[in-house]
Amino acid sequence: MKTIAVFCGSSEGASSIYKESAIKLGQELARRQITLIYGGANVGLMGAVADAALEQGGQVIGILPTFLQNREIAHTGLTELMMVESMHERKAKMAEMADGFIALPGGPGTMEEYFEIFTWGQLGLHKKPCGFLNINQYFDPIVSMFDMMEREQFMQPKYRSMVITDHTAEGILEQFSSYVAPSVKTYLTDQRT
Ligand code: AMP
């Protein structure tokens, strides 16, 4: 894997464990010479993961919509900062440039980014792994929701394997290296296989 997109909070969260984990992820990406692709901001966990990768000599590419430049405070020390026109362009670029996607704890923006890329995988638009770095059990309610979706037959069991979770950066990257995408979703002929 050469590039990983990280979705994470523009806030730091209530506990220092979130920032510490963002730092560990940034360091681990740099150590493995994986380029970090992220939202380009200098705030919250976004700033923390980028700074940590850069401090370890890693490559970091930020993708920031112009209208967010001041609100999210553009990171000025990145390997490259790509300015785009819209959120849609930002997400499309991240999807295109990354070989895999990791969500760290965050708010609605993080969730939106994760779910969009997850559903694109389910639709067969890409075959890249998407994972939750489950710090402080933050993503447990979402994992339970996926269990509910499967149990209540709103998600086919074969897509459950797309929900990758791990407590450590090393663990999630190891899971990514052996990831095989399920076959493409079809509605008429592919039910419950
Ligand atoms: P948050 O997790 O809410 O702190 O947001 C994290 C990142 O997601 C920030 O870079 C936000 O700009 C971005 N974001 C917020 N809303 C959306 C959205 N509707 N679509 C895509 N990204 C978003």
Of 68, 81, 63, whose CA–CA distance to 7 is shortest?
Answer: 63
Please tell me the predicted confidence (pLDDT) of residue 72.
Answer: 82
Which tokens is 53 given? 């990768």
Q: In this structure, which residue's CA is closest to atom 17 in ligand 1? A: 109
Radius of gyration of the chain (CA): 16
H/E stretch holding 133 reads: strand 130-133
Q: Which CATH number fits domain 3-177: 3.90.110.10, 3.30.2310.20, 3.40.50.620, 3.40.50.450?
A: 3.40.50.450
Which tokens is 92 given? 């499309």
Please tell me the predicted confidence (pLDDT) of residue 191.
Answer: 52
Q: Could you give the angle at which helices 169-177 and 16-31 cross, rounded to 10 degrees? A: 40
Q: Is the pTM of this model over 0.85?
A: yes
Mean pLDDT of the chain: 94
> Ligand 1 pocket: which residues have CB below 6 Å?
9-11, 39, 41, 68, 72, 87, 91, 106-110, 112-113
65: confidence class by pLDDT, cuts 50, 70, 90: very high
Distance separating alpha carbons of residues 10 and 156, to the nearest angstrom: 33
Please tell me the predicted confidence (pLDDT) of residue 128.
Answer: 98
Please tell me the predicted confidence (pLDDT) of residue 64.
Answer: 95
In the chain, where are the structural domains located? Answer: 3-177
Q: In this structure, which residue's CA is closest to atom 10 in ligand 1? A: 39
Determine contact, residues 23/45, Cβ cutoff 8 Å: no
Please tell me the predicted confidence (pLDDT) of residue 27.
Answer: 98
Please tell me the predicted confidence (pLDDT) of residue 114.
Answer: 98
The percentage of the chain sitting over the pLDDT mark of 70, rounded to a whole number, equals: 95
